[in-house]
Chain A
Amino acid sequence: GNSVTQMEGPVTLSEEAFLTINCTYTATGYPSLFWYVQYPGEGLQLLLKATKADDKGSNKGFEATYRKETTSFHLEKGSVQVSDSAVYFCALSDPHSGGGADGLTFGKGTHLIIQP
């Protein structure tokens, strides 16, 4: 079956530091890959996505590249801000996996804390 593994937190960084949150996946088909962010008290929001190998998703200074050879989709940002403090979820959608159609398979989430 499908699975997503991401680094467990919390991850604590100083403002303006470089961020990497690792994410690897296993899938039976050709999944689309996503990063969702959950700010305190809010629902999950789509941060970025990539639908095929070598695609790069980007948004709000965050980037992630779909690496099929390493089955990875690591999230990066060059200079984090306090406002980036949130929980980040890596996820995949694999319509060909059967079962629940194309519902998302999530990692456990990584709590990111940015200190001023």
Chain B
Amino acid sequence: DIVMTQSPDSLAVSLGERATINCKSSQSVLYSSNNKNYLAWYQHKPGQPPKLLIYWASTRESGVPDRFSGSGSGTDFTLTISSLQAEDVAVYYCQQYYNFPPTFGQGTKLEIK
């Protein structure tokens, strides 16, 4: 199984500041035939289901604010929130969909400083 490791486990950022969450996979999730990274990011707020933010490592899902961006390739990926809003407080998960079983990082808890 591909192991996904996020850092940090928790993060406190001031409103309006940048938040950066890292995700590392134990093997590459870049599929050479289409040059796509099989990596997604989700936002999970208490009492709500997870919400898809980004797929293909950097493509925003429809309706996701453009302050959310994803980058990286191969084994190292980053989710960036350019200007933190109060409603962004949540746990964020990366997930590889390169192969079975799909696996998640352990989550990063984002709070307001």
Bound pair: A and B?
Answer: no
B residues apposed to A, CB below 8 Å: none
Residues of chain A touching chain B, judged by Cβ–Cβ distance below 8 Å, are none
